[in-house]
Chains A and B, each alone.
Chain A
Amino acid sequence: MTERRDVRATYEEIASHFSETREYAWPEVEAFLDGRRGRRGLDVGCGNGRHTERLADCVTHAVGLDASRGLLDEARARLAAADLADRTSLLHGDAAALPLRDDAADLAVYVATLHHLPTRTARLASLDELARVLTPDATALVSVWSTAHDTFDETESFDTTVDWTLPGGDTVPRYYHIYSPDDFRTDLADSDLHLSDLELSSGNCYATVTPE
């Protein structure tokens, strides 16, 4: 069974190569942020900071959190190069146990990360944690890879690993829970988040959520 530590170790191993292939913000995330403003932004599973950078344009201060120190180092360099070091902070932490107080953020993105938590218990805990740290009037975007993607024939949710090939040719397996849209709705309903809108785009489920 994939352990949380294994997921983190995977990313430490591939961090800089992975970061190079995650250059651009996703258009769906940019569309979500377009016109939204806040005081404190939060990017859960910020990786190399590509969305933290966009989020920082919308808020007074943006916090990026990731379980991979390697990717956080990439994010730090990226945000400094974009002249955003003063308005951003980075935290090494666990998406299922956020080291943030209640009401810490009023605008958040949680992109392509929830699906790397290997148990439903951890995924629900993480969604509850997001609800806990959001202010009552906050809005967040949560996205996961979905069975709707062309890559998959499955219609029911399933667990899988996808290999990452490093420049030298070694492969590192990456755990995913691929969500059916119905199961994503169910998990959101069972969490402390309220679902405002669910869209399928590019084979991913994008949920716009608020705290319940």
Chain B
Amino acid sequence: MKRDLMDIVCCPLDKHDLELDVDVEEDEVLEGTLTCTDCGETYPIEDGIPNLLPPDMRD
């Protein structure tokens, strides 16, 4: 995930801003977490792709 994607992504549930926490980064963020600054829901960045599925769509 490129850092500038933060300009357009948001929480799928309430559309509020997300906070980015990076665990692994090279040219892009490979592993990390996006956290909704309003509802607190967390979304993982897995092997470079953010998983922004709502909780009821996850495995």
Contact = CB atoms under 8 A, between A and B. Distances in A.
Contacts of A101: 8-10, 15
Contacts of A99: 9-12, 43, 50, 52
State which size class the interface on A falls in. Answer: 20 to 34
B12 A98 contact: yes
B51 to A, nearest CB: 4
Interface string A169-206: 00000000000000000000000000000000000000
A118 to B, nearest CB: 12
A92 B54 CA distance: 10
B56 A91 contact: no
A211 B13 CA distance: 21
B57 A67 contact: yes
B12 A76 contact: no
A93 B53 contact: yes
Interface string A87-126: 0011111100111111010000000000000000000000
Contacts of B51: 69, 92-93
Contacts, number: 65
A171 B11 CA distance: 35
A148 interface: no
Given A89-B2, A92-B52, A63 B8 contact: yes
A54 interface: no
A209 to B, nearest CB: 20
Interface in B1-18: 1-2, 5, 8-13, 15
B2 A91 contact: no
B54 A97 contact: yes
A5 B56 contact: yes
A60 to B, nearest CB: 11
Which 7 interchain pairs have the tightest Cβ spacing?
Answer: A99-B52, A99-B12, A97-B12, A93-B52, A92-B51, A104-B8, A101-B10
10 contacts: A4-B57, A5-B59, A40-B8, A63-B8, A67-B53, A91-B52, A92-B49, A94-B57, A100-B10, A102-B15
Given A63-B5, A72-B49, 18 more contacts: A9-B59, A69-B46, A69-B49, A76-B49, A89-B1, A89-B2, A91-B52, A92-B46, A92-B53, A93-B52, A94-B53, A97-B13, A99-B9, A99-B10, A99-B11, A99-B12, A100-B8, A100-B10
